[in-house]
Amino acid sequence: MSKKIIVLIVVIILLVIISGVIYFTSQNSNESENANNNQENLAEQTEEENQTSNSVGTENEDDTTGTAKTLVVYFSAQGHTEEVAQKIANNLGADIFELEPVDEYSSDDLDWTDSNSRVSQEHEDESLRNIELVSTSVENWDSYDTVLIGYPIWWGIAAWPVDTFVKSNDFTGKTVIPFCTSSSSGLGNSGDLLAEEANSGNWLDGQRFRSNPSDSDIKNWTDSLQ
155 binds ligand FMN per the rule CB under 6 A? yes
Number of residues that bind ligand FMN (CB under 6 A): 21
The DSSP 8-state label assigned to residue 99 in this structure reads: -
Task: Select from 144, 154, 171, 179 the one that contacts ligand FMN (CB under 6 A).
Answer: 154
Task: Select from 38, 50, 58, 78 the one that contacts ligand FMN (CB under 6 A).
Answer: 78
User: Taking phi first (over 0 means left), then psi (-120 to 50 degrees means alpha), and beta for anything else, what does residue 144 get?
Assistant: beta
Q: How far apart are the C-alpha atoms of 145 and 45, rounded to whole Å?
A: 41
Q: With respect to ligand FMN, which residue has the nearer C-beta, 77 or 174?
A: 77
Q: With respect to ligand FMN, which residue has the nearer C-beta, 75 or 171?
A: 75
Q: How far is the CB of 222 from ligand FMN (least distance, A)?
A: 18
How remote is the C-alpha of 113 from its chain's centroid?
A: 40
148 binds ligand FMN per the rule CB under 6 A? no
User: Taking phi first (over 0 means left), then psi (-120 to 50 degrees means alpha), and beta for anything else, what does residue 139 get?
Assistant: beta
Count other C-beta atoms under 10 Å from residue 32's C-beta. 10
119 binds ligand FMN per the rule CB under 6 A? yes
Q: With respect to ligand FMN, which residue has the nearer C-beta, 127 or 183?
A: 183
Residues with Cβ within 8 Å of 127's Cβ and at least 6 positions away in sequence, in order, are none
207 binds ligand FMN per the rule CB under 6 A? no
Q: Which stretch binds ligand FMN (CB under 6 A): 129-137, 150-158, 162-170, 197-205?
A: 150-158
Q: How far is the CB of 155 from ligand FMN (least distance, A)?
A: 5
Q: Which stretch binds ligand FMN (CB under 6 A): 52-60, 162-170, 176-184, 198-206?
A: 176-184
Q: How far apart are the C-alpha atoms of 85 and 83, rounded to whole Å?
A: 5
SS3 category, 158 = strand
CA 136, 138, 143, 145 dihedral sign is negative
Q: With respect to ligand FMN, which residue has the nearer C-beta, 39 or 214?
A: 214
Q: With respect to ligand FMN, which residue has the nearer C-beta, 76 or 169?
A: 76
Q: How far is the CB of 67 from ligand FMN (least distance, A)?
A: 29
Q: Would you state the torsion angle of the CA atoms of residues 139, 141, 147, 149, taken in this order, to the nearest 10 degrees?
A: 50
The phi and psi torsions of 58 (rounded to 5 degrees) equal: -65, -40
23 binds ligand FMN per the rule CB under 6 A? no
What residue ranges bind ligand FMN (CB under 6 A)?
Answer: 76-82, 110, 112, 119, 152-156, 181-185, 211
